[in-house]
């Protein structure tokens, strides 16, 4: 049994944050931006026909579990991950690993995590956090979005791990089993960058990657034409909420990825990466401007066409600038 004390670090995004914290515990210093970059966490998807909480689904990140998996495979780290059908078995498995002194990463619904402030607790099922021990019946929790560690009762934890909806976490948990003596950061960084660019640029269908940004921009243009004002505002609000609220989607992810490009550039002494980082920071500022303008429209309860048109153009600009950047970035040789 290892008795090494678990140390909590706060991060901007849950899955890259959990990856970083789990690896730090094993003595591997991998920052959150590095985990996000190597795990190719940046993505985009807009599905007008899939309604989540009554509004079209928008995602700014790769599907849950992918970052951890990719980081592990690119750095030769062995991670055991498991899903469960039976809640009792899932809790028993968690207890067994915790008894060995291993912190465990988990997927769960934000709604059932009472330690988070109520205003943020929606039915969002792809949240990642770490359990690092037990105190009596309660689980000791390190949630990367929180400043400090916290606790949760088993009844709540089991609800969070077995939440229903899209996607269902099904008790998903993961922990590090083996760490390598050496890691090839250069190759891991290159693979991470290439994969992110590929996922953004390659999908031939309109809903995913860079094309999805343009699809969303066109949809937004039509909101005031097709929807009653209240619904238009609700749809727009959901775009912004997914972007900025839950896990720092739009602009926050651009900054996080820019931080990765900077760290990678400094590590590999590559000036090109540093320039890409600066460029992406500016694009992040534009995403922020988009969110800012959208929120103004909502606040003033405007529904005139021109304001939605402007908004659509702002988003298209983000998409155009990113396309230009990713097409160059994917050719980089490290």
Binding site for other proteins (CB under 8 A): 10-12, 32-33, 53-54, 111, 116-123, 145-147, 164-165, 233-234, 237, 240-241, 244-245, 248, 251-252, 255-256, 258-259, 262-263, 277, 281, 284-285, 288, 291-292, 294-296, 298-299
Q: How far is the CB of 202 from other proteins (least distance, A)?
A: 27
Task: List all residues 6 or more positions away from 197 whose beta carbon is below 8 Å from its beta carbon.
Answer: 326, 327, 329, 330
How far, in Å, CA of 298 to CA of 234, rounded? Answer: 9
**Given the complex with other proteins, which of 1 and 119 has the nearer CB atom?**
119
* Least Å from the CB of residue 76 to other proteins: 27
Q: How far is the CB of 25 from other proteins (least distance, A)?
A: 19
Separation of alpha carbons 309 and 76, rounded Å: 48
Q: How far is the CB of 320 from other proteins (least distance, A)?
A: 20
Burial 218-246 (b: 16+ CB within 10 A, else e): ebbbebbeeeeeeebbbbbbbbbbbbbbb
Alpha helices per DSSP H over the chain: 14-25, 32-38, 66-74, 87-99, 154-161, 185-201, 210-226, 229-240, 250-267, 271-299, 305-329
Q: Which is nearer to other proteins, 203 or 237 (CB)?
A: 237
Q: Please report how close the Cβ of residue 86 comes to other proteins at its closest, in angstroms.
A: 15
Cβ proximity to other proteins: between 79 and 280 the closer is 280
Nearer to other proteins by C-beta: 19 or 248? 248
Tell me the closest approach of the beta carbon of residue 44 to other proteins, in angstroms.
19
Nearer Cβ to other proteins (11/70): 11
Residue listed under structure tokens 């534009």: 286
The whole-angstrom separation of Cα 141 and Cα 123 is: 19
- Are 49 and 28 a contacting pair, CB within 8 Å? no
Given the complex with other proteins, which of 97 and 192 has the nearer CB atom?
192
């Amino acid at each position: 049994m290892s008795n090494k004390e678990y140390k909590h670090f706060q991060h901007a995004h849950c899955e890259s944050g959990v990856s970083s914290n789990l690896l730090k515990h094993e003595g591997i210093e991998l920052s959150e931006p590095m985990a996000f970059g190597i795990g190719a966490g940046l993505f985009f998807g807009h599905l007008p026909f899939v309604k989540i909480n009554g509004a079209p689904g928008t995602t700014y990140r790769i599907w849950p579990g992918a970052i951890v998996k990719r980081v592990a495979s690119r750095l030769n780290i062995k991670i055991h991950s498991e899903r469960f059908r039976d809640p009792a078995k899932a809790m028993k498995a968690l207890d067994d690993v915790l008894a060995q002194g291993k912190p465990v990463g988990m997927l769960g619904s934000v709604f059932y995590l009472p330690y988070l402030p109520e205003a943020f607790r929606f039915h969002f099922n792809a949240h990642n956090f770490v359990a690092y021990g037990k105190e009596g019946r309660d689980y000791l929790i390190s949630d990367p979005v929180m400043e400090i560690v916290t606790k949760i009762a088993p009844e709540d934890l089991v609800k969070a791990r077995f939440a229903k909806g899209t996607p269902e976490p099904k008790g998903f948990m993961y922990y590090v089993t083996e760490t390598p003596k050496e890691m090839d950061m250069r190759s891991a960084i290159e693979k991470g960058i290439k994969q992110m660019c590929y996922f953004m640029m390659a999908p031939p269908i309109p809903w995913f990657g860079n094309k999805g940004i343009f699809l969303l921009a066109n949809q937004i243009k039509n909101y005031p034409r097709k929807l009653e004002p209240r619904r238009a505002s609700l749809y727009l609000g959901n775009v912004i909420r997914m972007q900025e609220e839950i896990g720092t989607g739009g602009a926050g992810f651009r900054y996080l990825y820019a931080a990765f490009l900077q760290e990678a550039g400094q590590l590999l002494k590559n000036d090109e990466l540093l320039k890409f980082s600066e460029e992406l920071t500016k694009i992040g500022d534009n995403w922020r401007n988009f969110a800012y303008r959208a929120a103004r429209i909502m606040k003033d309860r405007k529904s005139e066409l021109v304001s939605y048109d402007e908004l659509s153009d702002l988003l298209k600009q983000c998409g155009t600038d990113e396309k230009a950047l990713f097409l160059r970035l994917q050719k980089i040789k490290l």
